[in-house]
Chain A
Amino acid sequence: MNIAVCVKPVPDPGHYNRITINPQTKLLDRKGIPVIINPVDKNAIEAALQLKEQFGGRVVLVSMAPPDVGETLKEALAMGVDEAYLLSDRAFAGSDTLATAGILAAGLKKIGEFDLILTGSESADSGTNHVPSQLGELLGYPHLNYLIELNLEAPLLKMKAKIENGYIEYEGFPPLVLGVAREINTPRYITLMGVVMARNKPFTIWGLKDLGLDPASAGLAGSPTRPGELHLPRHGRKAELLEGEYEIVAGKIIAVLRGAGILA
């Protein structure tokens, strides 16, 4: 099986409280925050590796990101991915999900044919969950998102996609583009041996020209949506301190509940 996994390096969510907006430039300041593979993309890598272990084949990683994410992507190689492709170009900056999907599609087409293209259901930083569906549309492949189960009874794929309080059961045939949810599996730990092997695995970087893309289709130019102003949320609540022994404080809370009509 030929499986591709699309992966996004993101700022480590554990460090979000260090993100600020520069008051002069009004731009985001993410300096010094470590970058990791989008957590649910690791579930996608794990799903791909499990299929490879079951059916043989190769797993290829594709990522659209700035050029300095090499070490982060090598972790995927250390997990067991066979090759990595980094799509990187200044022209890609500012891409929204549609432009990103277009760039990923171009990269995937240049590498070759795939039976399955997997990715995480949503990205931790922007919280958007469009890429699986949009990538599928741009490649002309059927697609699903939020998979919690994926079983290949060759050649048929049986899948369950998460919905509120349940799931939808689907059947389909490769090629497919699938977004996976965190419930689908537990990503494996990287082994020391995996780290050693990662060093020698092919790692290719392609830019706009390598992909033969029109600059108008990439980056900010190729994005129908544009970011506007950034704000820090302001809440305007007073945080009146309720002090005293626990019994007294509990009494004060009850007074508040009465005022709100919850208690008589």
Chain B
Amino acid sequence: MLKLSEQQEMMRKVVRDFVDKEIAPIARKIDEEDIFPLELFQKMASLGINGVFVPARYGGADLGYTEMTLIVEEIARHSAGFALALVTHYMGVYAIMNWGNEEQKQKYLPPICSGGLSGLSLTEPGGGSDFAGQKSTGQLDDGEWVLNGRKCFITNSHCMRVNVLTVRTGEDAKGRPQISAFIVEGDTEGHTPGRKEKKAGLRGSFTGEIILNNIRLAQDNLLGKPGDGAKISLGTLGEVGRVGTATVALGILRGCLEESVKYAKERIIYGKPLSNLINIQLMIAQNRTDYEAARLLTYNASGLKDVGKPCVSEVSMAKYFATEAAFNAAKRTMDLMGAYGVITDYPVSRFLRDAAASIPACGTSHINQIVIAAGELRK
């Protein structure tokens, strides 16, 4: 049985209060104008949100992944785009927290827990799913690492305080590409945002290119050991990014449920509330069940992570299920609302676009299914 503690329920209430006052009123504007409210992100830091799972000695709130999940759900219920920016930030934070040495943690975690934005830059024009095929390079030159290349479709690209990125630093003994991870401060010379993409969904976060042009980094900026890039990125994606994206979809699902119920009660048709019609009731039942299933999968995954149990399959199941279910629920809710679903005064069409955009984020549905299958077939 899924049960949150009293403390977690109070935290949900606290976050919801903040969201209701600060995010919900501007959710439509965030989507229409595709703006990322950086000041709001900084305001959230004072509530402990930005470093929720980071130990207190590095400036974090010393909580866990269940708390991370309920925060992202509350935000995503109103602005999935802004929630995704937070999830991406959490990935950068997690990579440093988990694989950084003590100096790196002390140097980089406090600023990103207190308002600075972080992120994880992996994808390249040559491919995202093809992780090993990345072409950006890192070469040791005179005691410094020199990074060159291009990253694209990077969320938070244009305003990162601290970036975690991967580049190819050579080949291993078997001739396979050696990928390493680096911590790069956003204002480092040579690290520049490039083109900003216009997205159809999950608007409200910067998504764009990052150009790496002869960035020179001290050896201290190497995260982990040379060749740890795959372990760090896929570990981060697999255990935080995907849970976060699943939770973004969960927020959308709750939005669809609440909007469909509200509309069905208020809309009068044939002289009675719409909710009297059986077909509408079926759609509401489907929305509720989809939300419930996604909720249980997602909180189960974050709960496993909180107790340190392996959860790669659970995370992938949550991500794949929740994002696809969110898309279906959004379409279903638009059907339920008829013409009103198309009018942008209502958030439902935004839910549809956001859900569609959440499917390729942090690993497509197919990639996640491959992960799940691999877990089964290994047994």
Contact = CB atoms under 8 A, between A and B. Distances in A.
Contact of A191 (B7, B47, B62): B47
Nearest to A193: B48
Contact of A71 (B10, B15, B18): B10
Contacts of B63: 192, 196
Contacts of A71: 6, 10
Count chain B CB atoms within 10 A of each CB in A71, A75, A190 and give the residue with the most. Answer: A190
Contact of A192 (B6, B14, B17): B14
Given A195-B7, A196-B7, A189 B61 contact: no
B14 A189 contact: yes
B67 interface: yes
Count chain B CB atoms within 10 A of each CB in A189, A192, A193, A196 and give the residue with the most. Answer: A192
B11 interface: yes
A74 interface: yes
Interface in A186-205: 189-196, 198-199
- The interface residues of chain B, by DSSP majority, are classed as helix
A48 interface: no
A199 B63 CA distance: 14
A179 B61 CA distance: 34
Interface string B1-15: 000001100110111
A192 B52 contact: yes
Contacts of B18: 189
B46 A195 contact: no
A78 interface: yes
B250 interface: no
Contact of A189 (B7, B47, B52, B67): B47
A198 B14 CA distance: 13
Interface residues of B, number: 18
A61 to B, nearest CB: 16
B17 A189 contact: yes
Given A192-B52, A192-B63, A193-B61, A78 B6 contact: no
Interface in B11-63: 11, 13-15, 17-18, 46-49, 52, 61-63
Interface in A203-256: none
Contacts of A74: 10
A190 B11 CA distance: 9
A193 B52 CA distance: 9
Nearest to A199: B7
Interface in B134-178: none
14 contacts: A74-B10, A189-B18, A190-B47, A191-B47, A192-B14, A192-B15, A192-B47, A192-B48, A192-B49, A192-B67, A193-B61, A195-B10, A195-B11, A196-B63
Interface of B: 6-7, 10-11, 13-15, 17-18, 46-49, 52, 61-63, 67
Q: Which 4 A-B pairs have the closest CB atoms?
A: A192-B48, A190-B14, A191-B47, A192-B61
